[in-house]
A and B are shown apart, each in its own frame.
Chain A
Amino acid sequence: MEPVVQFDQINKSYGKHVAVDNLNLSIEGGKFVTLLGPSGCGKSTSLRMLGGFETPTSGRILLSGKDVTRVPPNKRNVNIVFQDYALFPHMNVAKNIAFGLELKGLDNQRIHRRVSELLELVQLQDYAHRLPAELSGGQRQRVALMRALAPDPDVLLLDEPLSALDAKLRQQMQIELKAIQEKTGKTFMFVTHDQEEALTMSDTIVVMNKGRIEQMGDPDTLYGRPGSVFVANFIGETNLLRSTVLGVEGDTASLNWNGITITANQGGLTPKPGEHLYVVLRPESIHCSVTEPATGNRIKGKIRQRVFKGNHTSLSVDVGDGTLLNALVHPSDVAQLSGEDIWVGWKAETSTVIPDRQAHN
């Protein structure tokens, strides 16, 4: 199938500052794709280039196979949900949603039908005649979404639309957004710096850093098999163990970490003995116990800090020389870990190795 969006060797610089650096990206239709990265990573610039509000310094942008690189925003079939919604303050909800339809030249009857249909989708039928100022944050968000969906764009662009909402509402809207995307079957391109949003909603996450794609994949892969230190740190909490390869046996690599021999999944790399790598060990993969575990990696340690987080407790465990490992402990297991001395253990296949980029540069 032909991709809906294609960024073909896109570069964008402002003077000497390179915002987007040779971006190549194809997005399949009907997917929820998230551009994830810290501020200044080029994700918003990429979105604005697709929207037509920025012109790439070089490269081509294809939309449904057509080159739209220099087409103005009003002539391309994409719509944006802006960060602060940008609802027209002097138009009521129905008029806001109808705006794009009117400009497409639809007749009044069809506009009316489409607007009611969309309002129904987000249960705002009773608010059609309200002004944006008379709506709550979540309602404005829905109206902005429907206004952008109304003209039936090839791709819907969402520029951090949830960042203005409070935490509870944000979680609710994540689920709603995903549901709307599935119901309408539209391609959503979502930009955020919030890894939790990205993990919750996306079919595909594109992690960006310094204007480049760091890694692209589904949430499971990015979380379980991060391809770089940056991705491992950016998505979820993690323990990074800088280690030296001792040997590889099947899928499992054995490594030397601070004088301790540990094993980890080789993660598609083919590590050579003597090579320096990082082992990614997620806090929830670590099992804490009072007695020594029978199998897998195990290290004796001392609990330095306990942080109660409600549905779990976060432990900082000193495994010697002040090296700390973060571990998550389920509430039912906390009681038995009352003392300072514990064992931390994990199975080799729950940890993975990633290259130490710095070592190569």
Chain B
Amino acid sequence: MRGIFSDGPRTALTAFYWAFLLYLLLPLTLMMAMSFKDASFVAFPIGNWTLDWYGKVMQDKQFLDACLYSVMIAAASMVAATTLGTWIAMLIVAEGIRGRMIIFALACLPAVVPGMISAISLRIFISTIDMPTGTAAIILGHTVHAVPFVVVMALTRLRSMPGNLVDAARDLGADNVVAFFRVTLPYLGPALLGGMIFCVLLSIDDFVRTFFLGGYRPTLPMLIFAKVQGGMSPEINAMATIVLVVTAAVGLYAEYMTRRARTR
């Protein structure tokens, strides 16, 4: 029989894994637990449990408005980023394109530039072109941030596409446009769905860019930030819990859908 000490590295690895899980999940669990606490202080012990905070959140006009605003911005930037990202990916794999590596590098740049730098540069940019801060500017900022992720996902899928599918479509009478919409786009489908949901999550989550580009109407993260500055309360925990559950559900669903589509 192997003792615990005869297999040191493996034991250490397992221990690390559990420690990491604990570190990952404990804060979230605490936050969720506090949202059910029947008292206005965020601290242990939890004497009585309640759903009142959720009731309060659901009646909070500010919260609902911020949610709506965030979703609207997310939807708009998703449409823009998916269109742009798909187009750039198609450009990169197109025949006879020079400097495709440069296009790819440029398209991916926004994903690696620090959020702060990106936010400041976008702010300078919009004031240079006399664009007011607010909805349009936020959408612009979120789109730029999300494009690289769509490009990478679409590219991966495009590269696995048999080269002669488009040839076959052309051969059967499709022009380039018809071939794109009837063959390439459906083939890209699973990757684009994943990319779209990723865009939405990125946008909903974004704070820094929104902070620099936003107007007076707060998005969800901005609202929560403002509320936290007024002191922690279980209401904020309830809000955060709702956001966490919804985004996690959407993310997992997206993962499930892309997997299912890919195995077909």
| Residues of chain A contacted by B164 (CB below 8 angstroms) | 82, 84, 86
Whether B172 pairs with A151 at a CB distance below 8 angstroms is yes
Whether B264 pairs with A99 at a CB distance below 8 angstroms is no
| Residues of chain B contacted by A78 (CB below 8 angstroms) | 171
State whether the Cβ of A100 lies closer than 8 Å to any Cβ in chain B. Answer: yes
Interface hits, A124-163 → B, CB 8 Å: 131, 133, 147-148, 151
Expressed in whole angstroms, the Cα–Cα distance for A89 and B188 within the complex equals: 11
Q: Which one of B63-71, B115-123, B136-144, B173-181 is at the interface?
A: B173-181
Whether A82 pairs with B167 at a CB distance below 8 angstroms is yes
| Residues of chain B contacted by A52 (CB below 8 angstroms) | 170-171
Known: A84-B164, A88-B165. A103 touches B174 (CB 8 A): yes
Whether A103 pairs with B187 at a CB distance below 8 angstroms is no
State whether the Cβ of B183 lies closer than 8 Å to any Cβ in chain A. Answer: yes
State whether the Cβ of A258 lies closer than 8 Å to any Cβ in chain B. Answer: no
Contact with A along B183-196 (1 / 0, CB 8 A): 10011010000000
CB distance from A302 to the nearest CB of B (A): 54
Known: A74-B173, A103-B173, A147-B172. A90 touches B167 (CB 8 A): no
State whether the Cβ of A72 lies closer than 8 Å to any Cβ in chain B. Answer: yes
State whether the Cβ of A10 lies closer than 8 Å to any Cβ in chain B. Answer: no
Contact of B186 among A80, A90, A103 (CB under 8 A): A90
Contact of B172 among A72, A84, A99, A131 (CB under 8 A): A99
Contact of B189 among A80, A82, A90, A131 (CB under 8 A): A90
Whether A131 pairs with B264 at a CB distance below 8 angstroms is yes
State whether the Cβ of A79 lies closer than 8 Å to any Cβ in chain B. Answer: yes
Interface hits, B43-91 → A, CB 8 Å: none
Interchain Cβ contacts within 8 Å, total number:
64
Contact of A86 among B167, B175, B189, B264 (CB under 8 A): B167
| Residues of chain A contacted by B167 (CB below 8 angstroms) | 53, 73, 80, 82, 86
Nearest chain-A residue to B165 (Cβ)?
Answer: A86
Contact of B168 among A86, A104, A131, A151 (CB under 8 A): A86
Contact with A along B153-166 (1 / 0, CB 8 A): 00000000010110
Expressed in whole angstroms, the Cα–Cα distance for A84 and B164 within the complex equals: 9
State whether the Cβ of B169 lies closer than 8 Å to any Cβ in chain A. Answer: yes
State whether the Cβ of A219 lies closer than 8 Å to any Cβ in chain B. Answer: no
Number of interface residues of B (CB under 8 A): 19
Contact with A along B235-261 (1 / 0, CB 8 A): 000000000000000000000000000
Whether A72 pairs with B170 at a CB distance below 8 angstroms is yes
Whether A74 pairs with B174 at a CB distance below 8 angstroms is yes
Expressed in whole angstroms, the Cα–Cα distance for A99 and B170 within the complex equals: 11
Expressed in whole angstroms, the Cα–Cα distance for A53 and B186 within the complex equals: 23
Expressed in whole angstroms, the Cα–Cα distance for A72 and B170 within the complex equals: 8
Known: A88-B183, A90-B187, A90-B189. A79 touches B264 (CB 8 A): no
Expressed in whole angstroms, the Cα–Cα distance for A52 and B169 within the complex equals: 13
Whether B162 pairs with A86 at a CB distance below 8 angstroms is yes
CB distance from B94 to the nearest CB of A (A): 16
Expressed in whole angstroms, the Cα–Cα distance for A86 and B164 within the complex equals: 6
Expressed in whole angstroms, the Cα–Cα distance for A53 and B170 within the complex equals: 9
Expressed in whole angstroms, the Cα–Cα distance for A89 and B164 within the complex equals: 12
State whether the Cβ of A51 lies closer than 8 Å to any Cβ in chain B. Answer: yes
| Residues of chain A contacted by B183 (CB below 8 angstroms) | 88
| Residues of chain B contacted by A87 (CB below 8 angstroms) | 168
Expressed in whole angstroms, the Cα–Cα distance for A90 and B165 within the complex equals: 11
| Residues of chain B contacted by A104 (CB below 8 angstroms) | 173
CB distance from B36 to the nearest CB of A (A): 46
Nearest chain-A residue to B166 (Cβ)?
Answer: A86
CB distance from B10 to the nearest CB of A (A): 39
Whether A103 pairs with B168 at a CB distance below 8 angstroms is no
| Residues of chain A contacted by B174 (CB below 8 angstroms) | 74, 99, 103
| Residues of chain B contacted by A82 (CB below 8 angstroms) | 164, 167-168
Whether B189 pairs with A73 at a CB distance below 8 angstroms is no
Nearest chain-B residue to A89 (Cβ)?
Answer: B187
| Residues of chain B contacted by A100 (CB below 8 angstroms) | 172-173
Contact of A84 among B162, B169, B173, B187 (CB under 8 A): B162
| Residues of chain A contacted by B171 (CB below 8 angstroms) | 51-53, 73-74, 78-80, 148
Expressed in whole angstroms, the Cα–Cα distance for A84 and B168 within the complex equals: 11
| Residues of chain B contacted by A73 (CB below 8 angstroms) | 167, 170-171
Expressed in whole angstroms, the Cα–Cα distance for A88 and B182 within the complex equals: 9
| Residues of chain A contacted by B178 (CB below 8 angstroms) | 103
Nearest chain-B residue to A48 (Cβ)?
Answer: B167
Contact with B along A78-102 (1 / 0, CB 8 A): 1110101011111000000001100
Nearest chain-B residue to A103 (Cβ)?
Answer: B173
Whether A133 pairs with B168 at a CB distance below 8 angstroms is no
| Residues of chain B contacted by A89 (CB below 8 angstroms) | 165, 187, 264
Whether A74 pairs with B168 at a CB distance below 8 angstroms is no
* Residue from A53, A103, A131 having most chain B Cβ neighbours under 10 A: A103
| Residues of chain B contacted by A86 (CB below 8 angstroms) | 162, 164-165, 167-168
Nearest chain-A residue to B190 (Cβ)?
Answer: A90
| Residues of chain A contacted by B187 (CB below 8 angstroms) | 89-90
27 contacts between A and B (CB under 8 A): A52-B170, A53-B167, A53-B170, A72-B175, A73-B167, A73-B170, A73-B171, A74-B171, A82-B164, A82-B167, A82-B168, A86-B164, A87-B168, A88-B165, A88-B168, A88-B169, A88-B183, A88-B186, A89-B165, A90-B187, A99-B169, A99-B182, A103-B172, A103-B173, A104-B173, A147-B172, A151-B173
List 7 additional contacts besides A52-B171, A74-B174; criterion CB under 8 Å.
Answer: A53-B167, A74-B175, A79-B172, A86-B167, A89-B187, A99-B174, A99-B182
5 nearest interchain CB pairs?
Answer: A100-B172, A103-B173, A86-B168, A86-B164, A90-B186
